[in-house]
Amino acid sequence: MLEGKKVAILGDRDGVPGPAIEECIKSAGAEVVFTTTECFV
């Protein structure tokens, strides 16, 4: 499902941060086009 897709990552500093998600998504074969770590609250 992720392979070949463009992915926008909205991480959370109190949850899973953007860079951690980015590593995961890259390993799944998708292209990360945007990563941020916001405070969701």
Partner 1 sequence: MDLENQQRVKDLAEKHGKDNLVVILGGAEAEASGLACETVTNGDPTFAGPLAGVQLGLACYHILEPEIKDEVDPEVYDEQVSMMEMVLDVDEIIDEVSTYREKYSQF
Residues that bind partner 1 (CB under 8 A): 1-3, 5-12, 14-18, 20-21, 23-25, 27-30, 33-34, 36-38, 40-41
Going by C-alpha positions, the residue among 1, 36, 2 that lies closest to residue 16 is 36
| Minimum distance of partner 1 from residue 21's CB (angstroms) | 5
Distances (CA, A) of 35 to 17, 21, 39: 9, 9, 13
- Least separation in angstroms between residue 39's CB and partner 1 is 9
Q: How far is the CB of 5 from partner 1 (least distance, A)?
A: 5
Tell me how far apart the alpha carbons of residues 11 and 1 are, in angstroms, rounded to a whole number: 20
